[in-house]
Amino acid sequence: NSDIIVTKKRDNYLEWPDYFMAVAFLSAQRSKDPSSQVGACIVNQDNKIVGIGYNGMPNGCDDDLLPWSRCAENKLDTKYPYVCHAELNAIMNKNSADVKGCSMYVALFPCNECAKLIIQAGLKEVIYLSDKYHHTPEMTASRRLLSMAGVHFRQYQPKTTEIVINFNSINGLGTANGTIQ
């Protein structure tokens, strides 16, 4: 019968790795850091998100009273002694008993301090997008620690350069299938 219309599923949907990295990047948009917005997303073996975080000042600390500078004569006038990294926040914000055996998707390769947290929390894998600080001592120490502890790490290879979120698409406005470009 030629009157039957067959509807097929979409083939341009987000695959799991793209979805989780996009969640990390969306979370990063909450960061108030003027120079680096980093997000992290922790996922369990069932592809369920169990923790999300972004870089920012500790809870209860007024981020208007703390510095956001990258450099100053006195290190206490920079953000570094104060800011919590996305990885720490994702682990602390976990919504499960623990994150043992989980994977973390994160925008930047984790520093040595975050590597220690990742190891102690029992994460098994880190998937990162950028390794722009690769040659710093902190990243060398991080790779050494993660390797010794058996935590796998790999660079994420995106299938696309951007994912557009169109709030109008639910109402049929804009392009319905234009979410991935």
Q: Is the pLDDT of residue 97 over 90?
A: no
- The binding site comprises 85, 111, 114
Domains of the chain: 16-155 (3.40.140.10)
Helix, strand or coil, per DSSP, at residue 128: strand
Cite the active site residues.
Answer: 87
Could you tell me which residues are annotated as the binding site for Zn(2+)? 85, 111, 114
Report yes or no: 15 and 23 within 8 Å, Cβ to Cβ: no
Reported pTM: 0.89
Q: Which residue has the tokens 């880190």?
A: 126
pLDDT tens string 28-55: 999 999 999 999 999 999 999 999 999 9
